[in-house]
Amino acid sequence: MSRPSILMVDPSPESVELARFSLWRSKLECDFGWFEDAERAMESLFSPQAQHHPDTLPCLILLEPRLPRMEGLDLLHMLRSQPHTQAMPVIMFATSYDETDATRSREAGANDYLVKPVDAREFMQLINQTVNYWLQHPPVTTEPG
């Protein structure tokens, strides 16, 4: 059985490295992947390989709402529209709180809308709590048929 993986879609290398370090330091049993924009994430998540082998998909996506070129909310809509990704937990992981973004994200099917703490220790704690929760509470999916 393969280890669960976490995917972070975020243009900030600092946020990504802090999240990666946090997961490594906490010894959570998971792999970590990163894309800096929604287009690259989309290519991976909607590839023929991902569609035919959903067990290769991440068990959680941490998605920055404000991305270059294509917004995180657009990627969320696409994830919710495809059978192989519609139940995947997606946490909007924003740089700052925006009521409109939070509301639109929840309406589009985000599992949560969290704000990245500025303090590194608080950031790492939030990453660990979020990932640990979703590793222990994976979504229930039903197989067609």
Residue 56 sits in a domain whose CATH number is 3.40.50.2300
Task: Give the chain's domain count.
Answer: 1
The reply to whether 117 falls in a domain is yes
Structure tokens at 104: 């639109």
Residue showing tokens 């290519």: 43
* pLDDT exceeds 50 at position 6: yes
Range of the domain at 118: 5-136
C-alpha radius of gyration, the chain, whole number: 14
Q: How far is CA 128 from CA 6, 48, 52, 117, in A?
A: 11, 31, 30, 13
pLDDT band at 144 (very low <50, low <70, confident <90, very high): very low
pLDDT score, position 87: 93
The reply to whether 142 falls in a domain is no
* CA atoms of 71 and 85, how far apart (whole Å): 18
The reply to whether 125 falls in a domain is yes
The reply to whether 33 falls in a domain is yes
Q: What is the mean pLDDT of the chain?
A: 92
The reply to whether 94 falls in a domain is yes
Q: What is the pLDDT of residues 52-75, one digit of tens each?
A: 998 899 999 999 999 988 999 999
Q: Can you tell me whether residue 50 is helix, strand or coil?
A: helix
Mean pLDDT, to the nearest integer, of 35-59? 94
Structural contact between residues 65 and 73, judged by C-beta atoms closer than 8 angstroms = yes
